[in-house]
Amino acid sequence: MRGVGQDLSELFDVVDEHDHVIGRAPRGKVHARGWRHRAVHVFVVNRAGEVFLHQRSLTKDTFPGKWNSSCAGHVGAGDDYEVTVVRELEEELGYVPGRIPERLFKIAARPETGEEFVWVYRVEAEGPFELNADEIQRGAWFTIAAVDRWLAERPEEFADSFRFLWPQVRGLL
């Protein structure tokens, strides 16, 4: 599934405050109206204890050019979180995990996540990865301390969801 790119007509499940599906709508409409929907964020860590982060493509409809978790993506209409996490790892990083990544925690939909319910996952991998240029400009490995410093000094270089998730996930990596 390489080269998928941005599709504002992609259908998302619209969900209520309890993450129950109440309808379906295209990506562009869901984002424009701020409706609740679903996403996953994956943090890939290596044996050295570093985390892989990526810089979003400039063509993304939200947070273009900002740094984010190893990979992240929306749950498509009719899909679930587990299907999505595996798809996103393959689509964005060219990585096929041997099993479902470890679930860390779930965040309720809120402004910091773009009204997304988010399951956060962790997976161990060494790379190298085959980055999808439609999704990612570049990626690199960072120590936890380096991310902490960077985030403290230049928070504007990160997507809002990453800034919200990092303090909660960093100790679990």
Task: State the CATH architecture for 11-172.
Answer: Alpha-Beta Complex (3.90)
- pTM for the whole thing? 0.92
Q: What is the mean pLDDT of residues 126-153?
A: 96
pLDDT-derived band at 2 (thresholds 50, 70, 90) equals very low
Is the pLDDT confidence value at 3 over 80?
no
pLDDT of residue 8: 78
The overall average pLDDT reported for the chain is 94
Question: Residues, the chain, total?
Answer: 173
Q: What are the Cα distances from residue 18, in Å, to 1, 116, 121, 139? A: 31, 12, 20, 34
pLDDT in tens, 14-64: 999 999 999 999 999 999 999 999 999 999 999 999 999 999 999 887 899
Q: What is the mean pLDDT of residues 73-96?
A: 96
User: Residue ranges per domain, the chain?
Assistant: 11-172
Concatenated DSSP letters of 52-109: EEEEEPTT-SSSTT-EESSEEEEPBTT--HHHHHHHHHHHHH----SSPPEEEEEE--
